C-alpha cells in the first residue's frame, strides 16, 4: 500500500475514533505523572507539541483504551520526536487489564516498528482482519528510537469505523452497484 492509498483509505470511510473512547476506563502504566496519557490522546492536547506522554521508570508504556462501542480499527498514527519517539509498538485487541508481566504471554494482534515517517504523522495500517471486533485496545510501547530511558509520545490517533456505521456504508455500496 502506498502512502497515498493509505491516506485516502483514511479519508474514505474511516473516522477518528476519539469520540468512541471510553475515557473513564483509559489507563496507562508507567506514565510520568506530569506527562500523562491525555497529552497524547485528547483533542487539542495532542496537537500541542509541547505536551507529550512520557514514560516514568523505564522506557516502556502500556496504554489501555476501552471503547464505548465495538469498532473496527483500520490504522493508527503515533507521533513523537526522532530520538525519544516509540519504535516497537504492539497492539492487543480485547485484552483487559494487561500488565507488563503478561505482555509476552500471548501474541499481539499486530506489531509495528515505527519509522521516522510514522513519527511525523504517517499512519500505520494495521492488520484489519484482526481488528474487526474491538472493544478495547492495548498499546504496548516496547522501546524507543534511540534506546533512551524515557519514551516521549506526542500524539496517538486511532482511525477506524464503528461496526454499525460500516454496515450502513456497506448497504449503500450495494445499492449503488
Please select the residue that binds another protein; options are 16, 22, 49, 58, rule is CB under 8 A: 58
Would you say 44 or 99 has its CB closer to another protein?
99
Percent of the chain as helix, strand, coil, to the nearest 5: 25, 35, 35
Binding region for another protein (CB under 8 A) out of 39-47, 53-61, 69-77, 147-155: 53-61
Residue written as cell 483514511? Answer: 10
Residue written as cell 483533542? Answer: 43
23 touches another protein by CB under 8 A: no
22 touches another protein by CB under 8 A: no
Give the footprint of another protein on residues 76-115 (CB under 8 A). Answer: 96-97, 99-101
Cβ burial 11-27 (10 Å sphere, 16+ → b, else e)? eeebbebeebbeeeebe
Cell numbers standing for residue 173: 455500496
142 touches another protein by CB under 8 A: no
Question: Rule CB under 8 A: which residues touch another protein?
Answer: 29-30, 33, 56-58, 60, 96-97, 99-101
Amino acid at each position: 500500500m502506498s502512502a497515498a492509498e493509505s491516506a485516502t483509505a483514511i479519508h474514505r470511510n474511516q473516522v477518528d475514533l476519539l469520540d468512541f473512547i471510553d475515557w473513564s476506563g483509559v489507563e496507562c502504566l508507567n506514565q510520568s505523572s506530569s506527562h500523562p496519557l491525555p497529552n497524547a490522546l485528547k483533542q487539542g492536547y495532542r496537537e500541542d507539541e509541547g505536551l507529550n506522554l512520557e514514560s516514568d521508570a523505564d522506557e516502556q508504556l502500556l496504554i489501555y483504551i476501552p471503547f464505548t462501542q465495538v469498532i473496527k480499527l483500520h490504522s493508527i498514527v503515533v507521533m513523537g520526536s526522532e530520538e525519544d519517539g516509540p519504535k516497537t509498538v504492539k497492539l492487543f485487541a480485547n485484552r483487559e487489564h494487561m500488565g507488563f508481566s503478561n505482555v509476552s504471554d500471548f501474541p499481539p494482534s499486530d506489531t509495528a516498528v515505527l519509522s521516522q515517517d510514522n513519527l511525523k504523522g504517517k499512519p500505520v495500517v494495521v492488520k484489519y482482519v484482526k481488528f474487526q471486533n474491538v472493544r478495547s485496545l492495548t498499546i504496548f510501547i516496547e522501546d524507543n528510537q534511540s534506546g533512551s530511558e524515557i519514551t516521549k509520545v506526542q500524539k496517538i490517533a486511532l482511525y477506524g469505523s464503528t461496526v454499525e456505521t460500516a454496515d450502513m456504508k456497506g448497504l449503500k455500496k450495494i445499492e449503488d452497484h
